[in-house]
Amino acid sequence: DTAVSQTPKYLVTQMGNDKSIKCEQNLGHDTMYWYKQDSKKFLKIMFSYNNKELIINETVPNRFSPKSPDKAHLNLHINSLELGDSAVYFCASSQDLADTSTNEKLFFGSGTQLSVL
Amino acid sequence: AQKVTQAQTEISVVEKEDVTLDCVYETRDTTYYLFWYKQPPSGELVFLIRRNSFDEQNEISGRYSWNFQKSTSSFNFTITASQVVDSAVYFCALSEAWTGFQKLVFGTGTRLLVSP
Closest CA to A92 of A42, A39, A48: A48
Q: Residue A72 in 3-state DSSP? A: coil
Q: Does the beta-carbon distance from B97 to A42 stay under 8 Å? A: no
A97-108 pLDDT, tens per residue?
A: 555 545 567 889
Per-residue pLDDT at A50: 84
In this predicted structure, the answer to whether residue A75 has a pLDDT above a threshold of 90 is yes
> Which one is predicted more confidently, A68 or A59?
A68
Q: How far is B84 from chain A (nearest CA, A)?
A: 21
Chain A residues with CB under 8 Å of B93 CB are 43
A14-55 pLDDT, tens per residue?
A: 999 999 999 999 998 888 999 999 998 899 999 888 888 888
Cα(A13)–Cα(A34) distance, rounded to whole angstroms? 20
Per-residue pLDDT at A99: 52
Per-residue pLDDT at B54: 87
In this predicted structure, the answer to whether residue A90 has a pLDDT above a threshold of 70 is yes
| B108 closest CB neighbour out of A35, A42, A110 | A42
Q: How far is A74 from chain B (nearest CA, A)?
A: 16
Per-residue pLDDT at A63: 95
Cβ-contact B105, B27 below 8 angstroms? no
**For the residues B28-45, what does the mean pLDDT come to?**
91
Quote the percentage of chain A above a pLDDT of 90: 62
Per-residue pLDDT at A60: 87
Average pLDDT, chain B: 92
In this predicted structure, the answer to whether residue B100 has a pLDDT above a threshold of 70 is no
> Which one is predicted more confidently, B54 or A2?
B54
Angle, vertex CA B43, rays to CA A59 and CA A105, nearest 5:
65
B37-83 pLDDT, tens per residue?
A: 999 998 889 999 988 888 888 888 899 999 999 999 999 999 999 99
Q: Residue B65 in 3-state DSSP? A: strand
